[in-house]
């Protein structure tokens, strides 16, 4: 009897693994042969809700901070470039691990090595930022903040919880990237929605009267605790999805030669990918220094703008995660017409989206300003930014899609050049000149103008290339 059952038991797991591999192959074929609009829709919609939830959680956190007072709002705004840096590292890790896993033959061993690499990277980064937190904030202009002595103890404890959650948050984002790479968009979306939903719910619960009386925590500390609890819970759910839903067993021999080789390959891929991802946080850090020169109230206003902007650019941001999957696989299959059709549809959708968003933010600018802060300069500055910046987001959306598509087809050099020009040749110098000429208002106008200029440059380049190709074809 025992001998009859053992073969079935031993074959069970390999059959499950083969089934998963067949499903992944079917997903890849569907991306190459399905209706362009249907494929893009199915790749994008699950991520739309996931990214919306993630950025909404960030905005709600800042909103809770604004309810505590303008000092707390300003203090948290100073930490936003640090948080953006952590997010860039998390995205970079997700890209690296997903790339390696989709190319690997021994997925189980590489998955375990990748998670260990993620934990070590997250822990090292969190320790480094914690040790240099005060110098970093001082560089950003925190030393000029009049209420710094009052808010520093609570801000420090808030960052303790935030940095303590880095390892768990990195695990969540890495598994998110892996699930996307394997085509499990629904599982990836569920993971981010769960994390964001937990953070919002726990934050709201901790600000309830009963929680405030039962817990001797400051307002910022409560927000830190909410983030830590949400990241910890979501990381366990992420491992569950990896093990149960994708049937990837985590097994590793740390001292084996294969494990050491896997670590080295991950690190070699990690450095250039993260360097690319860090360009935007670096630009935000330098931009925050320029804004801080206009006073702490300008920092508070710009912090709100930094949290609203990702939501305003929600569709293009989601398309930068889904369109490269479509473009990359179709480009590799020599289906250039299909690639062109997909890009045109994505651009058209972004143009309509950004036009609607610009109208909504224009009409709701005053409510947003007053809703986040009653202080006149802060509310008026938020209102000004929401009237000016969204007009340029259609151009910025085009740039974002262009960069992501260049990366998808292996033209990383072109993507890097466009990013460097937008951030470091136009946005930052323009913001500095604008600050000197007209303060915070000058910064906002300069950022909008930079978006328009890069968009116009890319349109001119595309039209010029098309004319050249037509001329050569006729000749």
Q: What pLDDT, on a 0 to 100 scale, did the predictor assign at position 11?
A: 45
- Which of 405, 330, 341, 339 is CA-nearest to residue 32? 330
What is the pTM for the complete model shown?
0.84
pLDDT along the chain (475 residues), means of 10: 43 52 61 83 85 92 90 92 92 79 63 85 95 93 88 93 96 86 81 95 91 81 95 94 74 66 81 85 94 92 93 92 84 86 93 95 92 87 95 94 86 88 95 95 96 91 71 58
Q: Do the beta carbons of residue 404 and residue 320 sit within 8 Å? A: yes
pLDDT at 14: 53
pLDDT for the residue numbered 224: 94
What pLDDT sits at residue 16?
52
Residue 254 has a pLDDT of 60
Burial per residue of 174-191, b for 16 or more beta-carbon CB atoms within 10 angstroms, e otherwise? bbbbbbbbbbbbebbbbb
pLDDT at 77: 93
Nearest to 282 by CA among 422, 444, 458: 422
CA-to-CA dists, residue 394 to 228, 340, 348, angstroms: 35, 19, 10
**pLDDT score, position 288:** 94
DSSP SS3 for 250: coil
Domain limits, the chain: 45-277, 294-465
Cα end-to-end distance, the chain, whole Å: 79
In angstroms, the CA 462 to CA 235 distance is 43
**Distance (Å, whole) CA 27 – CA 182:** 9
Note the pLDDT of residue 343.
92
SS3 225: helix
pLDDT at 104: 59
Burial class, 412, CB count within 10 angstroms (exposed 0-12 / middle 13-18 / buried 19+): middle
User: How far apart are alpha carbons 316 and 311 in whole angstroms?
Assistant: 10
């Amino acid at each position: 009897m025992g001998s009859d059952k053992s073969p079935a038991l031993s074959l069970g797991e390999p059959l499950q693994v083969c089934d998963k591999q067949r499903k992944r192959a079917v997903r890849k074929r569907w991306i190459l042969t399905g209706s362009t609009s249907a494929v893009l829709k199915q790749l994008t919609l699950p991520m739309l809700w996931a990214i919306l939830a993630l950025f909404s959680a960030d905005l709600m956190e800042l909103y809770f901070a604004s309810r505590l007072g303008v000092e707390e709002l300003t203090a948290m705004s100073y930490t936003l470039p640090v948080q953006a840096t952590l997010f860039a590292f998390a995205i970079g890790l997700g890209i690296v691990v997903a790339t390696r896993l989709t190319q690997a033959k021994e997925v189980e061993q590489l998955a375990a090595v990748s998670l260990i690499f993620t934990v070590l990277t997250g822990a090292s980064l969190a320790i480094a930022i914690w040790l240099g937190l005060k110098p970093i904030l001082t560089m950003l202009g925190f030393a000029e903040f009049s209420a710094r002595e009052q808010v520093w103890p609570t801000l420090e404890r808030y960052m303790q919880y935030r940095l303590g959650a880095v390892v768990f948050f990195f695990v969540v984002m890495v598994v998110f990237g892996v699930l996307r790479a394997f085509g499990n968009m629904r599982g990836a979306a569920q993971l981010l929605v769960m994390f964001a939903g937990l953070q919002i719910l726990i934050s709201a619960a901790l600000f309830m009267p009963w929680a405030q009386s039962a817990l001797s925590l400051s307002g910022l500390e409560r927000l830190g605790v909410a983030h830590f609890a949400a990241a910890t819970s979501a990381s366990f759910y992420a491992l569950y999805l990896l093990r149960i839903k994708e049937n990837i067993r985590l097994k590793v021999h740390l001292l084996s030669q294969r494990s050491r080789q896997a670590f080295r390959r991950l690190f070699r891929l990690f450095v250039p990918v993260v360097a690319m991802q860090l360009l935007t946080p670096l630009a935000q850090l330098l931009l925050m220094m320029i804004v801080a020169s206009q006073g702490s109230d300008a920092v508070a206003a710009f912090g709100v703008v930094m949290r609203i902007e990702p939501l305003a650019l929600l569709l293009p941001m989601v398309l930068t995660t889904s369109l490269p999957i479509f473009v990359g696989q179709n480009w590799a299959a020599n289906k250039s017409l299909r690639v062109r059709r997909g890009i045109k549809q994505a651009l058209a959708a972004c143009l309509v989206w950004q036009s609607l968003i610009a109208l909504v933010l224009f009409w709701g600018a005053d409510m947003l300003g007053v809703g986040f802060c009653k202080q006149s300069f802060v509310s008026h500055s938020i209102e000004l930014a929401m009237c000016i910046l969204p007009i340029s987001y259609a151009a910025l959306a085009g740039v974002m899609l262009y960069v992501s598509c260049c990366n998808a087809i292996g033209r990383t050099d072109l993507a890097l050049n466009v990013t460097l020009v937008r951030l470091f040749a136009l946005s930052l110098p323009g913001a500095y000149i604008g600050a000197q000429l007209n303060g915070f208002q000058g910064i906002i106008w300069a950022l909008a103008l930079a978006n328009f200029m890069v968009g116009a440059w890319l349109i001119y380049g595309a039209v010029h290339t098309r004319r050249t190709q037509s001329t050569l074809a006729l000749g």
